[in-house]
């Protein structure tokens, strides 16, 4: 990686506690998927059209609960206060000021109400989504959903790729298993069955099923997106079971170290969903051209995880803004170079395998 995002990563490596840096940078097993998410974009090339562009390009997208958003989202990442003292509040302000949807989540070190308020203070039109893991006890999940609703979140993102926690060898080696004293997953405080005033652990359960999703569907009027879908049959099921969007994601290579790169899994999911709901992607997006490739292959928008944490560690709100603005500027530039007047001009015929036809 080179450029603004790589500089942020290098700065982050200098300033962060090495165990936290490893937690963010690392992934499951031998980190084959972490690497492949980025490399898969290197294997794809853009095939531009000529003499049909526009001096002004429309890069906005309509997402559930976020009309007119930027095509890049902040993917949910845990524990921002370990990256910078301003934590999720800085991320929220940066996302709001760049028109980017922030997906905050259960593992945030700042409560969702404060995060959403900070985003709206920066831009009253800012959209914040809430990511959750369905908890084995439905009343715990429901309490989290109510908190997100009361905070003014406009969509829920349910992460379904984590029936169990991935085996992350760097974390095992470093003993990074608990948050340091003074930090907590604030959304997990004062939940049913939990110790009063204290936080519950985030539970992951391999016993969850589509019925649990149906229960959530009935419990809220908010749009619900499923994050962590790779198999096209699951994408089809998700739509049939009422999901309002699907996020193609392998959790940044942090769960199973044998799955395909996110962008390689995208076309089959797009085909299965067949335009019925938006398909988003995250994993390995590091350049505006990666955004263009993803949208050309049928994604409505893409999420970025690690680069946001690097930006936050490197420079707080300004650091996150720099990362997001760079990606959005590069994407607009890529559109111009492809002869596209906007996202709508990107189509699968603009993407070929590097070194040969797709």
Ligand X SMILES: CC(C)CC(=O)C(=O)O
Residues that bind ligand FMN (CB under 6 A): 24, 37, 75-78, 105, 107, 131, 159, 227, 249, 251-252, 254, 282-285, 304-306, 309
Task: Report, in Å, the least distance between residue 318 CB and ligand FMN.
Answer: 20
Q: Is residue 7 a contact residue for ligand X (CB under 6 A)?
A: no
Q: Is residue 208 a contact residue for ligand X (CB under 6 A)?
A: no
Q: Is residue 158 a contact residue for ligand X (CB under 6 A)?
A: no
Task: Report, in Å, the least distance between residue 336 CB and ligand X.
Answer: 35
Q: Is residue 200 a contact residue for ligand X (CB under 6 A)?
A: no
Query: Annotated catalytic residue: which of 80, 84, 251, 333?
Result: 251
Question: Between 5 and 340, whose beta carbon lies closer to ligand FMN?
Answer: 5
Residue bearing tokens 């999940």: 141
Q: Is residue 306 a contact residue for ligand X (CB under 6 A)?
A: no
What are 159's strand-pairing partners? 227
Task: Report, in Å, the least distance between residue 20 CB and ligand X.
Answer: 11
Question: Between 236 and 254, whose beta carbon lies closer to ligand X?
Answer: 254
The site partner of 289 among ligand FMN, ligand X, none (C-beta below 5 to 8 Å per kind) is none
How many residues sit close enough to ligand X to count as binding (CB under 6 A)? 5
Per residue, what are the HEC states of 137-158? Answer: CHHHHHHHHHHHHHHCCCCEEE
Gap between the Cα atoms of 90 and 261, Å rounded: 30
Q: Tokens standing for 6?
A: 């790589």
The site partner of 285 among ligand FMN, ligand X, none (C-beta below 5 to 8 Å per kind) is ligand FMN
Q: Is residue 108 a contact residue for ligand X (CB under 6 A)?
A: no
Q: Is residue 254 a contact residue for ligand X (CB under 6 A)?
A: yes
Task: Report, in Å, the least distance between residue 166 CB and ligand X.
Answer: 7
Residues contacting 71, CB < 8 A, separation 6+: 59, 60, 61, 291, 295, 300, 301, 302, 328, 331, 343
Task: Report, in Å, the least distance between residue 106 CB and ligand FMN.
Answer: 6
No. of helices (H) and no. of strands (E), the chain: 12, 12
DSSP label at 199? B
Count of CA atoms in the C-beta half-sphere (13 A) of 252: 18
Q: Is residue 81 a contact residue for ligand X (CB under 6 A)?
A: no
Gap between the Cα atoms of 1 and 100, Å rounded: 23
Burial of 78 (0-12, 13-18, 19+ CB in 10 A): middle
Residue 31 φ then ψ, to 5°:
65, 35
* Interface pick for ligand X out of 1, 19, 184, 202 (rule CB under 6 A): 202
Active site residue 251: yes
DSSP 288-341: HHHHHHHHHTT-SEEEE-HHHHHHHHHHHHHHHHHHHHHHHHHHHHHHHHTT-S
Catalytic positions: 251
Residues at the contact surface with ligand X, assessed by CB under 6 A: 78, 107, 202, 251, 254
């Amino acid at each position: 990686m080179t450029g603004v995002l790589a500089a942020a990563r290098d700065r982050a490596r200098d300033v962060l506690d090495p165990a936290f840096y490893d937690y963010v940078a690392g992934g499951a097993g031998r980190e084959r998927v972490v690497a492949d998410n980025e490399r898969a974009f290197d294997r794809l090339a853009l095939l531009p059209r000529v003499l049909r562009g526009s001096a002004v390009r429309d890069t906005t997208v309509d997402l559930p609960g976020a009309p007119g958003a930027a095509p890049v989202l902040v993917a949910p990442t845990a524990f921002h206060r370990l990256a910078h003292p301003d934590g999720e509040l800085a991320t929220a302000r940066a996302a709001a000021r760049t028109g980017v949807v922030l997906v905050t989540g259960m593992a945030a070190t700042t409560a969702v109400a404060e995060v959403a308020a900070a985003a709206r203070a920066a831009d009253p039109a800012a959209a914040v989504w809430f990511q959750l893991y369905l908890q084995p006890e439905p009343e715990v999940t429901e309490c989290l959903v109510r908190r997100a609703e009361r905070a003014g979140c406009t969509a829920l993102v349910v992460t379904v790729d984590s029936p169990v926690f991935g085996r992350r060898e760097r974390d095992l080696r470093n003993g990074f298993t608990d948050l340091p004293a003074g930090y907590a997953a604030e959304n997990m405080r004062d939940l049913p069955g939990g110790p009063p005033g204290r936080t519950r652990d985030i539970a992951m359960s391999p016993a969850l099923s589509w019925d649990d999703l149906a229960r959530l569907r009935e419990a809220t009027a908010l749009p619900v997106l499923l994050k962590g879908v790779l198999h096209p049959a699951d994408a089809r099921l998700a739509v049939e079971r009422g999901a309002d969007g699907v996020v193609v994601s392998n959790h940044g290579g942090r769960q199973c170290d044998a799955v395909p790169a996110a962008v390689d899994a995208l076309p089959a999911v797009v085909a299965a969903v067949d335009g019925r709901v938006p398909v988003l992607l995250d994993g390995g997006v590091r350049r505006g051209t990666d955004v263009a490739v993803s949208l050309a292959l049928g994604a409505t928008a893409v999420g970025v995880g690690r680069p946001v944490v690097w930006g936050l560690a490197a420079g707080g709100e300004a650091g996150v803004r720099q990362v997001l603005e760079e990606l959005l500027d590069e994407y607009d530039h890529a559109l111009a170079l492809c002869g596209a007047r906007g996202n709508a001009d990107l189509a699968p015929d603009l993407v070929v395998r590097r070194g040969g036809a797709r």
